[in-house]
Amino acid sequence: MLEEADLLVPTAVVEAAIARLADEISAALHDRFPLLLCVMNGAVFLCGHLLPRLRFPLHLAYVHATRYGKETRGQEVVWHAQPPDAVRGRAVLVLDDILDLGETLAAIKQRVLELGAETCHVAVLADKRKQAPKPLKADFVGLEVEDRFVFGCGLDAHGLWRNLPAIYAMPGT
């Protein structure tokens, strides 16, 4: 699969995007003592690369909601781990790998706010260019990618290749 894939975003560009995200997030939230919610499993890559660049106190937790599983087309949102009660009264930053259709992230943000978060920001490594409007706009975006089936940097292809340091597209998509 990897040998046939198209390289969309090289490693150096990904690294620069994460560095810029860290600067933008730091400027906006450095004095808010935020709770960062890593969306499993896709945001583990972003979280691991972003956290060492954030030089302010924060708490870290995770949520696990998905519409895809091992499928390539989204279904209904399935919760494996809801946002913790610790969101109440906090500035929350949700970290995810990609803003695709936006339905999963919109559901996560809605749930965080329902649980009483003071604010809920969203940061994504990649925002997929779509023609249709999305139910959510990310507050912090690392980079934009084509409307193709992409993988690498936390994004998976049939459960594989989240570990790649660059972003690829499946051939023919």
Kindly report the backbone phi and psi dihedral angles of residue 12, in degrees, each rounded to the nearest multiple of 5, phi listed first.
Answer: -60, -35
Per-residue confidence at 127, pLDDT binned at 50, 70, 90? very high
CA-to-CA separations, 115 to 21, 61, 69, in angstroms, rounded: 26, 15, 25
78-114 pLDDT per residue, tens: 899 999 999 999 999 999 999 999 999 999 999 999 9
- Asked if pLDDT for residue 61 goes beyond 60, the answer is yes
Give the 3-state secondary structure of residue 105. helix
Query: Is 12-147 assigned to CATH 3.40.50.2020?
Result: yes
The residue ranges of every structural domain in the chain are: 12-147
**DSSP per-residue letters across 78-93:** EEEEPPPGGGTTSEEE
Per-residue confidence at 11, pLDDT binned at 50, 70, 90? very high
18-34 pLDDT per residue, tens: 999 999 999 999 999 99
Residue-level pLDDT at 77? 84
Residue-level pLDDT at 90? 98
Strands 167-169, 119-128: pairing kind: unpaired
Q: What is the pTM of this model?
A: 0.93
Per-residue confidence at 66, pLDDT binned at 50, 70, 90? confident
Q: What is the largest CA-CA distance in the chain?
A: 48
